[in-house]
Each structure stands twice: as C-alpha cells, then as structure tokens.
Structure 1
Amino acid sequence: MDRGSPEIREIPASADVVVIGGGSCGSVVAGRLSEDPDRRILLVESGPGHRIPAEFPPELVDAGVLPVGPDSRWIWPYPVELTRGRTGWIARGRVLGGSGAVNGGYFVRAQVDDFANWPASWSYEHVLPYFRTIESDADFDGPWHGTTGPIPVRREPADRWHPVSAAFADVAHAAGHPDDPDKNAPGSHGIGPVPLNIRDGVRVGPASAYLLPNLDRPNLTVRSDTTVTRVLFSGTRVVGLEVTTDGRVGTIRASTVVLTAGAVATPHLLMLSGIGDAEHLTTLGIPVVANLPAVGSEFSDHPEVVLPYRYRRPVSRTTRTPVLQVTLNTEDIEMRPYTAAFGDLIPGSGIGKPCLGVVLMKPRSRGEIRLVSADPGDAPTVSYRYLESERDREALQSGVAHAADLMHSGPMSRLLEPERIETSDDWLADHLGTSLHLSGSCRMGVDEESSVVDERCRVHGIDGLYVVDTSILPSVPSRGPHATAVMVAERAHTFM
C-alpha cells in the first residue's frame, strides 16, 4: 500500500491516548507519541481530514491565500467583542492541520525575555533545544538554529520582495531602524525578513511534517469529522470522551487525554466538562469536577490597527508571494507591510484595500471566554477588552504615528497614498482588528487560582488530562505564537 494512503479506520472504542484536535500541536503530539509502537494513539479532529498532501484543496496548498473568510469550510468562526461596543469575528482552523493549515506561514519564535513569565523549567535555555529540533533552517545554522527538523524555515531573498516590502524596508532603514536579518536569533529587533514555514509557495505545517507521513502506523488512528463534546471522569480521573459523528453520539474509553483544540475550543470544552470557575459552571447547571477559575480567563492577543492606502501606480503580485515578507519590530510594536489587500488574501472577507498593520506585541489588556449555555453547540462568548489599558492605547498611538511618518517617506510615499490617519481613541477603535494569536486562556503555572496546567502540561487536580496548545502560554509572546506552540508540543510529548 502507498505510504501516504492508508486504509480508512473506524473510530476505536478505546485508546491508550486520545489527542483532541488535529491542529499544529495535536499533529506534533500524535505524531511523536505514535513513535512508540506499544501505545495506541487516536487523534480526533472535528473538521475535514486529508490523507496525503495531494488531496489538499488548492486554498490549503497556496500560502499566498488565507482561506479564513466567513464562508470558508476550513474554519470555526466565533463572534467576538474586540473592545467595548465594537464587535467582530475571529477564525480558528477547522481542518486537519488546524490554523497552521490556513495561516500566512509566519514562523517566528518567542523572544528570550518572553519566557521570564513562564515556569523556571521553561526558560529560554531549556526550550532552545526544542526550537532547534522542530526546524530545518535554510538560511542559518550555528547554536540558535536547527538544520534537520521536520519544519522547513526560510526567508524571502530581497530580490523577490514585493514592491511594498522593499519600499518599507528602505524607509525603515532610513529612519534609523537596524537591520534584522535573523528574527529567530536572541535579541532580534529592527527591519528584516520574516522566517516562513513555506516551501515553493506551499505551507509546510505540522500536519504535513509530523502527521501525514506517519499515517500508515498501525497504532495511529486519525478520525476527522468527529467532535468531542465532553471529557468524561470518574471522580477526578479521566475515563473517556463523549463524541458526535454524523449526528450520532458515542463514547471512547481512554485513561490519558491530551487537549489540543486551540485557545478558544480548549477552555470551551473544559468548561463543558466541568472544569472551570465553579460559580460560572453551577449557574449553567454543569456539575463541577475541578474549580479552576483561570479557565477562559485573562487571555491575551495582539491587537492590530490597520492603515489602509491606495497604490499610486499598478503593483503586481503572484499568488505564490507570501502574505508577509518583512516586518519591523521595535520594543513593543510590529509593523506588517502586507503584500496584498485582505480582500485578495482572504476570499469573502470584503476588505478590499491594501494596508499596513501596526500591532501591539506586548499588550496589557486581558480578555475572557465564557459559556453561554451547557449546550456544546453554542459558541462561547469571547471578549478581548482591547484598548482598556491606557498604556496599550498610548503604545498604539505612538506606533500609528510612526507608521504614518514612514508611509509618507521616501519610496513609500512614491508608491502609495495612505488614507487619513489619526491617533484618537475612536479612530483606533474603528480601525482595530486582531492578529488571531489568542493565548493564555488556560495558563501554565503552579498556582491553581491563577493557572490551569502545571509545568508538565497536566490539568491541576485531574489525573490523565493534559493541555498542549497556545491556551497554556502564560501570555501571548512578543512575536506570533505558531513556532512557540510547535516547540511546546515537541517538548510536551516527552511528559506523557
């Protein structure tokens, strides 16, 4: 039988380990755990599955397209409140590969000082070997980089930069920002190319790198189009799962469950299963298994203010051009010169203008996820509470003002004309979005009042339940979290 096309297996009645969610972290955990032939591993994914990359639809292959619009079949859309009185929606991947199968391929590590708020065993010195293990960097080697890992990492050479990427780099250098050739090196800041997990215009996410090549293992079963609705317990010990498939409800027996459903679905499922703030759960009639108030509380994400503009002359872009080729990183701001309008990048989004993104990378505002009912079919409420911190508003105002100066400078001013830019609170709110980097909704830590999992990713007070996704990051990193999430999964599988 062809290695990439195993027979379709029925969902088993039991497994040694069940991994819930086939996104980036679930793909890594299931792929690594199944290396032990004596352990039966089941990966359950609510979205569609694919057995070989050749089966992927074009929008999941082309890294120059983000199939996360409101009509996409590859996402879970969640209505959200970004800031008081301003609503919106977010997209989370709902397909084998998760959000890592539909994102822009930005694969930048957390910075060294990001780990100061993590448990001591997760210091930068402790996690660096795992960052190196996951990657094969085409541009750099030495002590900071890996060259034999499953995820390819490369940067776009300057001779292939989109005109807006090149012009933005020129004006940033002219403004005194340092050259930043390696954004995955310690102490990185300045203007430079973005590390990408893209090969020949195609995303190579963890599903492609860790999971799909190993689907012929007899001890690994991947079941897509199957939704876990509750984790089941005997007292405080995991005994299995309740699942729905094609409208039918069933159960799977398991003594070890790894929850990798993402920073929204993970706290949602924990609360449905009786793990969360006891008062909130009791109000909804959900029996409390463990009173952990931090479930769904105090999450963080990167708020992004978009500065629309029009080109002064036609600018071409191929579909193989990455969404981002360069970024400018200062102490707490990242500027993103996108290579196309979101209306072109995100089919069905209705956002037709090209823009420069100004992103707050060290936000102080914190959000909350809460159930609306005990029905698994009801989406939770997601309240970001962006801009509630005065320091956040001041940092974004300063970042927007500097971005406006850059857009009116040198080759940028000759290439494009920005729309009116202000720094008032109302203007910021009107141009506010999110980077879809939600983190910290089930934080790692030692205190059961302020965290959900311990330093080995075990849910406090529960036997047999782990969480491994961006929900356990103590706060959103000061760079996009994808590379950090993959590193966490690579390390966490060793605890199980």
Structure 2
Amino acid sequence: MQGDWDHIIVGAGSSGSVLAARLAEAGRRVLLIEAGGSDRRLFVEMPLGYGKLFMDPGVNWNYAAEPDPGLNGIRDHWPRGKVLGGSSSINAMVWIRGHPGDYDDWAAAGATGWGWSDVLPAFRALEDNEAGADDWRGTGGPLHIAACRDGMHPLTRAFLAAAGQAGLPQNPDFNGRAMEGVGPYQQTVKGGRRNSAARAFLRPALKHRGLKVTTGAQVTRVVFEGSRAVGVEYRQGGALHQARGGEVILSGGAINTPQLLMLSGIGPGAALRAMGLPVRVENANVGAHLSDHQGINYTWRATIPSLNDLLRPWWGKLRVGAEWLALRRGVLARSINHAGGFFRTDPGQARPNMQLYFQAFSTLLPRAGERPILSPDPFSGFSIGLSNCRPRSRGAITLASPDPLAAPRITANAYSHAEDVAEMLAAVKFLRVIAAQPAMRALIAEELRPGPEKQDDDALIDDLRSRSGTVYHPSCTARMGGDPVLSVLDAQLRVRGVEGLRVCDASAFPSLPGGNTNAPAILMGWRGADIVLDRV
C-alpha cells in the first residue's frame, strides 16, 4: 500500500530539510515530520544568539550523556536541535567540509559513490560561497556561505600572526586546495542572519504543493507490513497518528535515528528483547560506533580590550543589539569562532588531526541555562580552543526505556583510547606555544585556564579530562558500509534486512570527518536525494 506520500521523512534537520526540499522540487509527494517547531525565533536568526539556545527546551533536545570516566565522571550536556533546521538552527555556523581523505575513507569502507571525487561536485552545486567560485568552491547554489574575512578583532589578527610564528601557514580557505593552517572561518550566515538548512533549503521549497511539513510531531516507530516499511506512527498533540507512504527515510540524526530503529525492532537483539521489544532485524551496529569530537579551551586575561568589554556592559549590549536589529551587522552577525585552523600534532600524520578555534572573548563564569556568549566575563579575556579530528574512542546510543518519548542512553566513552589522550596532550601544549609567540605575548596578562601551575603531563591530562566536552558532532551510529557484518546501511542508504527504509543523516557516516559536521550532514541530504531519485 503506497499511501498518500512517495516519501515520509522523519526529522527536518540539516539532512532532512535538504532531502525534503530536493525531492519536492523533483515533483515527489513528501511528508516531512519534525518533533520541534518553527525556527522563526529571534535568537535562532541572530547568529551570536546561539548561546541562548544551548539549553532552551523550545528548540533543543537537551540530552545528557552518561557519567564518563574519560571526563573524570562528568555527565556532559549534549544539545541537539529540536526545531526546523535541526542542529543547523542552533549551532556555531562554521562551514567545514572535511578533508578529501575523509571521504575517500568512506569509499574504502564500502560506501561506493561517496569518495571525494564523487562528493566535491555536490558540495560545489549546493554552495553559494561569498569567496567566489573556483575548482573547489561553488556559487549559485541555495546555501549562501559568508567568507568572514573582514572585521576581525585585533586579538584575532594577533592569533593568526602568532600561529604563523609557531609554524602554521596562513590559509584563506579550509575548503579549498589545502586544509592545514590558520585563517578565518567561513560561516553559514546570509545578510547578517543565520542561514540554516531550514532557511536555505526548506523554506524556498514550501512553494511546492507536494511538500507538507508537520511540526510538533514525534515519531514513535516505523510501521511495517511484512519486511517492508509502509509508514510511521507519531504522537502529536497528545494523540497517536499514522502516516503511510512509498518509502520511509529517517533523518533524525546520530541520536534519534538509532533510537527509532531500535524502537522499531532493528538493532542489537538481546538488548531489544530485554526491553520487551520484538526483534525484526538483529544488527549490533545500530547505535554502536558512536564517534564525536572532544574539545577544550585555554583562556588568558588580555592586556587590551576583548569582546568581553563590548558584550558584557549594558551599554555594549544596547549598541551591538541596535546595530544588528537595524543593519544586520556587527558582533551579533557572526559566530564567535571568527578564526581557527587545522594542524598536525606529529609531522608523520597524513592529514591534520587537530582543529583550532579562536575566540576574542572568554566565558569562565557559568550562567545557568545558557552558554554565556552574550554575557561574557567581566574582564578582558580570550580563548584558544581545539578539538580532535579523528578520535579512536567509540561510544554507543542505547535504549534507556521502551518508551519512545524517553531519552535514549548516550555513552560517549571520551578519551577511552590511549592515543586520543596522547594526541590531546600534545595539542594543548601547542596552544601554549602559540600564546608564547611575539605577536601574542605582549597581549597576555596571565593564563587563567588551566593556569601556569599545571605544567607536567599528569596535571595537563587531568585538566583535559576535567574540562573537555563534546563539540556537538555525534556521528556513525547507523553507518554505511560494504560489509553487512559491520554496518547498518548499504551505499544507497538502505537499511539492511528490510525494504522501503533508508537513513539519511550524520548517523550514516561510515567514519567521523575531521572538522565541523554540519557541512557533511547537509551533503548527506543533497546527495541522498540524488540517490533516491536515481541520479547517481
């Protein structure tokens, strides 16, 4: 029974919004179901407003991971977007595709058609890059990407100069010829407003009569007839509903998608039986192989004013707020991560294994319910952060309850692999090398975190375990691959063991790319549509 729809897509996030838009543009009848609501909110549209969304239940699932021995027992906060646009509506907007080798790794793992030569044309087609078109960048696509080369804070310029003095090349485009080096970050910002997947792809597609978007609707299970998926069950307004269609595509992300697969009887058999759930397809890879980047900031007090001095006082808030509301310009019109880059902790590494983030402000003082981006520390401060690109540690998403409205269990297992700890130790030492260069040394009054008293390896490792946390890039929990024993999906995103069911989101990544994952997630929706439409 085909039902009313050619495709039912679960989740209007970074992948699902793109997928739904492209299928609707091709004339398909598409039902897009989203648990969250509208993205038309002030702090969603304001680029620097994402700190206010960090724990906002109106747009955020607000997950909490299990206490993690690798993080000295910390129960880490895992924000995920519960809103049109998904996490692209609450993230820091940095646009990084990943290293070409990351995609060639996908192809080598059996994800045929996902190598760098396959995905580069897709990236160029979907982008409208302010930096202009070349052999790597694209223009004219639906997603405008701001180059962000102007308006740098003096501390940001000093960081770039100091990183150069420490041996890193200047790189104007991490999505271009080479990834290594330091420079400004490209951002998904357009006209001073956040350019989420909902704004860039989904909203323009609403003109197509074949596309229906249902919000405030949480899917509770996939409905099957025999071995074929024929629809979904969802809860909306306290009532249970069903929708039926020709194909079901899960785009809920690396946490919600494996949860929904398991609730539908696809996953590790013993664990599902223990929950009283019937087992339709036994596959231990569902929820397994959870990969995520871990990050940490080092923070200094500055001898010159930082953005703290502008964002903290009432008069500064009034000034920057008026500038953004009237002109869509100024500090509020971009992410706080103005610049950064990629480097290798060991010259023998084949590609950069660490990512840098520079922030011309500091937030050591916590504020309940938000990241205090709009209310930073009451002194001039700045931070240099980093995250690992290809951690070896693996976690898992498992069911905490058979109740579909209960949050799943997130076991991150951060720093559970010794090489991840060794890499991060080398990386944090390099942050001090950058800070010691002539271009930055005169601008530093003192190191605040971790503090100059922490010098030996044991102290630095204890600090990174105590202060590290997710940088919000969970992936690989329903991964593609050529080997059915090691994967959930084939290279066409089809769930093995059933018919009429695909996954199209970051859970499908065969391995975690180096860098921010919003660009690969958007790519997944774009190229996923080509696969569904049999264009590749």
Q: Does 1:490 align with 2:479?
A: no
Deviation at 1:349, TM superposition (A): 2.9
- After superposition, residues 243-322 of structure 1 pair within 5 angstroms as 243-316=234-307, 317=310, 318-322=331-335
Q: Does 1:436 align with 2:472?
A: yes
Contact 1:152/1:204 (<8 A) preserved:
yes
What SS does the corresponding residue of 1:298 show, helix, strand or coil? coil
- Equivalent of 1:61, from 45, 52, 57? 45
After superposition, the Cα gap between the structure-2 partners of 1:344 and 1:469, relative to the gap in structure 1 and judged at 3 Å, is: farther
Contact 1:64/1:345 (<8 A) preserved:
no
Mean Cα deviation higher: 420-429 or 123-132: 420-429
Deviation at 1:72, TM superposition (A): 4.3
What SS does the corresponding residue of 1:479 show, helix, strand or coil? coil
Deviation at 1:343, TM superposition (A): 7.5
The separation in 1 between residues aligned to 2:472 and 2:429, in whole angstroms, is: 24
After superposition, the Cα gap between the structure-2 partners of 1:374 and 1:46, relative to the gap in structure 1 and judged at 3 Å, is: same
The separation in 2 between residues aligned to 1:481 and 1:350, in whole angstroms, is: 20
Instruction: Kindly tell me the number of residue pairs found equivalent between the two proteins.
Output: 478
The separation in 1 between residues aligned to 2:16 and 2:187, in whole angstroms, is: 20
- Equivalent of 1:326, from 339, 345, 360? 339
Q: Does 1:395 align with 2:395?
A: no
Contact 1:444/1:453 (<8 A) preserved:
yes
Deviation at 1:226, TM superposition (A): 0.7
Q: Percent identity?
A: 32
Q: Does 1:375 align with 2:403?
A: yes
The one-letter code of the counterpart of 1:126 is D
Q: Does 1:151 align with 2:143?
A: yes
The one-letter code of the counterpart of 2:21 is G
With structure 1 as the length reference, what TM-score do the two structures score? Answer: 0.92
- Equivalent of 2:392, from 364, 368, 372? 364
The separation in 2 between residues aligned to 1:68 and 1:415, in whole angstroms, is: 32
Q: Show the counterpart of 1:80.
A: 65
What SS does the corresponding residue of 1:305 show, helix, strand or coil? strand
User: Cα deviations across residues 375-417 of structure 1 (Å, max 9, x unaligned)?
Assistant: 0121111111111111111110010001022223334333343
Q: Show the counterpart of 1:464.
A: 500
Q: Does 1:455 align with 2:491?
A: yes
- Equivalent of 2:105, from 102, 117, 124? 117
Contact 2:477/2:507 (<8 A) preserved:
yes
- Equivalent of 1:418, from 447, 450, 465? 447
Q: Which structure 2 residue ranges, 5 or more long, are not aligned? A: 311-330, 344-351
With structure 2 as the length reference, what TM-score do the two structures score? Answer: 0.85
- After superposition, residues 101-180 of structure 1 pair within 5 angstroms as 101-118=89-106, 119-157=111-149, 159-180=150-171
Deviation at 1:350, TM superposition (A): 5.9
What SS does the corresponding residue of 1:160 show, helix, strand or coil? coil
User: Cα deviations across residues 8-27 of structure 1 (Å, max 9, x unaligned)?
Assistant: xxxxx842211100111111
The one-letter code of the counterpart of 1:245 is Q
The separation in 2 between residues aligned to 1:334 and 1:410, in whole angstroms, is: 22
The separation in 2 between residues aligned to 1:386 and 1:90, in whole angstroms, is: 13
The separation in 2 between residues aligned to 1:349 and 1:35, in whole angstroms, is: 38
After superposition, the Cα gap between the structure-2 partners of 1:412 and 1:491, relative to the gap in structure 1 and judged at 3 Å, is: same
User: Cα deviations across residues 141-182 of structure 1 (Å, max 9, x unaligned)?
Assistant: 22212111111123222x411233212101001112111111
What SS does the corresponding residue of 1:195 show, helix, strand or coil? coil
Deviation at 1:495, TM superposition (A): 2.0
Root-mean-square deviation over aligned CA pairs: 2.0
Q: Show the counterpart of 1:409.
A: 437
The separation in 1 between residues aligned to 2:90 and 2:527, in whole angstroms, is: 24
- Equivalent of 1:16, from 6, 30, 36? 6
Deviation at 1:342, TM superposition (A): 4.8
Contact 1:178/1:189 (<8 A) preserved:
yes
The one-letter code of the counterpart of 2:11 is G
Deviation at 1:344, TM superposition (A): 9.8
Q: Show the counterpart of 1:53.
A: none
Contact 1:362/1:478 (<8 A) preserved:
yes
- Equivalent of 1:35, from 25, 39, 43? 25
After superposition, the Cα gap between the structure-2 partners of 1:226 and 1:435, relative to the gap in structure 1 and judged at 3 Å, is: same
Q: Does 1:49 align with 2:38?
A: yes
After superposition, the Cα gap between the structure-2 partners of 1:217 and 1:202, relative to the gap in structure 1 and judged at 3 Å, is: same
The separation in 1 between residues aligned to 2:447 and 2:484, in whole angstroms, is: 48
The one-letter code of the counterpart of 2:59 is W
Q: Show the counterpart of 1:6.
A: none
Contact 2:129/2:147 (<8 A) preserved:
no
Contact 1:164/1:337 (<8 A) preserved:
no
Deviation at 1:346, TM superposition (A): 8.8
Q: Show the counterpart of 2:314.
A: none
Q: Show the counterpart of 1:3.
A: none
The one-letter code of the counterpart of 1:319 is L
Q: Show the counterpart of 2:320.
A: none
Deviation at 1:275, TM superposition (A): 0.7
What SS does the corresponding residue of 2:62 show, helix, strand or coil? strand
User: Cα deviations across residues 438-457 of structure 1 (Å, max 9, x unaligned)?
Assistant: 11111110222211111011
Q: Show the counterpart of 1:4.
A: none
User: Cα deviations across residues 64-92 of structure 1 (Å, max 9, x unaligned)?
Assistant: 12143224421101111373122121100
Q: Does 1:218 align with 2:209?
A: yes
The separation in 1 between residues aligned to 2:513 and 2:447, in whole angstroms, is: 30
After superposition, the Cα gap between the structure-2 partners of 1:192 and 1:313, relative to the gap in structure 1 and judged at 3 Å, is: closer
The separation in 2 between residues aligned to 1:87 and 1:185, in whole angstroms, is: 37
Q: Does 1:230 align with 2:259?
A: no
The separation in 1 between residues aligned to 2:479 and 2:365, in whole angstroms, is: 36
Deviation at 1:322, TM superposition (A): 2.3
- Equivalent of 2:84, from 61, 73, 96? 96
Mean Cα deviation higher: 188-197 or 421-430: 421-430
After superposition, the Cα gap between the structure-2 partners of 1:229 and 1:397, relative to the gap in structure 1 and judged at 3 Å, is: same
Contact 2:165/2:437 (<8 A) preserved:
no
